[in-house]
Amino acid sequence: MTKFVFVTGGVVSSLGKGIASASLGALLESRGLKVTLIKLDPYLNVDPGTMSPFQHGEVFVTDDGAETDLDLGHYERFIETRMKKANNFTTGQIYKSVLEKERRGDYLGKTVQVIPHVTNEIQDFIKRGAGYGTEDAVDVAIVEIGGTIGDIESLPFVEAVRQLSLRLGPNQAAFVHLTYVPWIAAAGELKTKPTQHTVQKLREIGIQPDALLCRADRAIPDDEREKISLFTNVALWGVISMPDVDTIYRVPRVLHEQGLDGLICDKLRLNTPPANLKRWDNLVHEVLNPQREVSIAMVGKYVDLSDSYKSLNEALRHAGMKNHAKVSITYIDSENLESETVEQLERFDAILVPGGFGKRGVEGKIKAARFARETKVPYLGICLGMQVATIEFARHVAGLTQANSTEFEPEGAQPVIALITEWKDEDGTIKTRDENSDLGGTMRLGAQSSDVAPGTLAHSIYGPVVTERHRHRYEANVAYLDQLRKAGLVISALTQREHLTEIVELPQAVHPWFMGVQFHPEFKSTPWDGHPLFNAFVKAALDHQTAQSTQKAVT
Ligand code: GLN
């Protein structure tokens, strides 16, 4: 039977609850257990798909096409189990489901209430995420509850997991609470009071944590840990110090050395071999000992918040590790590039244009793609980055000077990028979009496979078939593909089902490394192997750097 670990957070948000949960998952996995992670988000949006990356950070996409919280990205990078739609749900989804049941009459005329109807629904969703009672059941499901204890919003979730632990019976569930221990410089002291209060709040709701993960900017000395233990009724070995670390990949080791995995296994009566952290130690070594450094310009819109491109940053770092290089990423706001000179991109070893939505800054991205094509610096365009590379090529090489995407110019004369409904119209006229359409879940989402043309750069990276995840609405318009091909653009992969353009590239005789992909490869990168496309891109950047310095030495 599946056992559960519920992870809550206290004092403030952004303490790294996702990383802590994922690290615990990794530790339990290294003990030979089958583990999954589930994230509960206490907001009313049905999913984060329609939320701005400024508000919520990146939207992570699973193989089965769910738009989820970015913590699921951490989960997939830390543990082996792949995330599915059922691994993340929101208050919005719970209420949607409860209200549908109410309309169908499933509650048989009863008054529908937060307790028990909403809390029961939450428990059902948690069990579904864990595959509870099915053949997909995991040994341990770690359930991370978003928000901070004391929030009105997350209260039904906390109540639901309290009830669930009671229903499951003794030793079937453990509670871990992440808290903050601030260093007060003026007093020269670490303060435990916020932790005392947050645990009090938790105990008021009926939850006694088994372990406290105490986040601080430094290690917490034993006398402070004793004090916390005494005031919170958590055994001393359950008061775990979680200081800031040089790399997130060190966190599993930090938690293991203080016995967190042992404590959880004890509590859940799980008998396992000891944890083996060799591969994590190797990872930390690789991160801290790069042999070279490579500098990549990321030309995007949401550059203010690195969370907006979380998986992408990680994928580039993984590829760096694979190439024994430190990847330094400089975020360039594409909107500034519209008025400023593009020559500022000269100092980089490669240029990357990531995914994005909306018109703002798009001409700057087109300028960046042009600069990369003309100066032969390695270019990787992801999703929107592929679309702008295609528009750029159409305008400046294929003679389609009006080329654009209907996303930015709905009535444009040469819509080389457009919605399928626009370019598939039978009499050849461009249909206008339905402005009232429901924005949630109308995109091409999740994993799809395409065939890769032999002899292409893409083929040398992926082999004959590529399966990657998608999140977009617009596609390269078939009506212009022949013209683009004739002008020298290589369409190196088409989807198996609908023959949609998946990868475009320049022939290697023309440009050493120029590629645009309609999918989001960053979602599948792991620290263990990196990702073939990013590994190749970072290698191309390193080769470019070498070639440049040899050239400088000669001249
Ligand atoms: N806005 C583009 C589209 O919807 C690209 C989306 C993306 O980059 N994720 O097709």
* Average pLDDT, 10 consecutive residues per value, the chain (555 residues): 96 90 97 97 87 80 92 94 94 96 94 96 97 94 95 96 97 98 95 96 96 96 96 97 95 97 98 95 95 95 74 95 95 88 92 92 96 97 97 97 95 92 56 43 83 97 96 93 96 92 96 97 94 98 93 79
- For ligand 1, whether the C-beta of 473 sits within 6 Å is yes
Domain 3-283 is in which class? Answer: alpha beta
For residue 49, report the phi and psi dihedrals to the nearest 5 degrees: -55, -35
> Which residue has the CA at smallest separation from atom 7 of ligand 1?
355
To which H or E segment does residue 195 belong? helix 193-204
Ligand 1 atom with the smallest distance to the CA of 382 is 8
Ligand 1 atom with the smallest distance to the CA of 407 is 1
DSSP assigned state of 112: P
Distance CA 70, CA 92 (A): 17
- For ligand 1, whether the C-beta of 469 sits within 6 Å is no
Match 């307790």 to its residue by tokens. Answer: 115
Residues near 128 by Cβ (< 8 Å), separated by ≥ 6? 86
Same fold, 3-283 and 291-417+443-551: yes
Distance CA 19, CA 297 (A): 27
| Amino acid identity for residue 203 in this structure | R
- Residue 441: the pLDDT is 46
- For ligand 1, whether the C-beta of 471 sits within 6 Å is yes
Q: What is the pTM of this model?
A: 0.90
Q: How many angstroms separate the alpha carbon of residue 357 from the centre of ligand 1?
A: 5
Domain boundaries, the chain: 3-283, 291-417+443-551
CATH for 291-417+443-551? Answer: 3.40.50.880
Looking at 511, 522, 531, 544, which residue is catalytic?
522
Distance CA 444, CA 193 (A): 49
Q: What is the biggest distance separating any 2 CA atoms in the chain, rounded to whole angstroms?
A: 85
Distance CA 404, CA 415 (A): 5
Q: How many angstroms separate the alpha carbon of residue 421 from the centre of ligand 1?
A: 15
Contact, 138 vs 175, CB < 8 A? Answer: no
Distance CA 236, CA 258 (A): 11
- Residue 429: the pLDDT is 44
Q: How many angstroms separate the alpha carbon of residue 296 from the centre of ligand 1?
A: 22
Q: Give all strands of the β-sheet with 325-333 in edge-to-edge order.
A: 325-333, 292-300, 350-353, 379-382, 514-517, 501-505, 490-495, 444-452, 465-472
- Residue 426: the pLDDT is 52
Catalytic site includes residue 265: no
